[in-house]
């Protein structure tokens, strides 16, 4: 089945700086890669996703890039703010297994 690895497990940045979280996947047939944000004590929520026919997608301060050849994708957050502090999960969808596999999560802390 699909295996998704996520790095780093923790990340601290100064407010206003950029943050980058990276994920790799194993199943070359995977075609959908969402990112979920989970604030403390709350449920995970989708913040951005990308499909395999696209190399990059942006939504305001958030962007995701996908490199299918290398089988990795990344989340970029620019101009970080304290409210960006949360756990971020990447995931990959394997069509053969029909399931979404999550990475282990990154605790992002934005320091004021």
Strand partners, 45: 37
Residue 27: CB minimum distance to another protein, A: 13
Q: Which stretch binds another protein (CB under 8 A): 11-19, 58-66, 70-78, 102-110?
A: 102-110
- 25 near 71, Cβ under 8 Å? yes
CA–CA distance, 112 with 104 (Å, rounded to integer)? 26
Site string for another protein, 15-54 (x = CB under 8 A): ----------------xx-x-x-----xxxxx--x-----
Judged by the rule CB under 8 A, the positions of this chain that interact with another protein are 1, 6, 9, 31-32, 34, 36, 42-46, 49, 89, 91, 93, 95, 98-105
């Amino acid at each position: 089945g699909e295996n998704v690895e996520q790095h780093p497990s923790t990340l601290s940045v100064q407010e206003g700086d950029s943050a980058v979280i990276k994920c790799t996947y194993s199943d070359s047939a995977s075609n959908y890669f969402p990112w979920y944000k989970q604030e403390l004590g709350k449920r995970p929520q989708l913040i951005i996703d990308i499909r395999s026919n696209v190399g990059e997608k942006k939504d305001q301060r958030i962007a995701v890039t996908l490199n299918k050849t290398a089988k990795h994708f990344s989340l970029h957050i620019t101009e970080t703010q304290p409210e960006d502090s949360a756990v971020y999960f990447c995931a990959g969808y394997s069509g053969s297994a029909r399931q979404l596999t999550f990475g282990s999560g990154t605790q992002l802390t934005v320091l004021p």
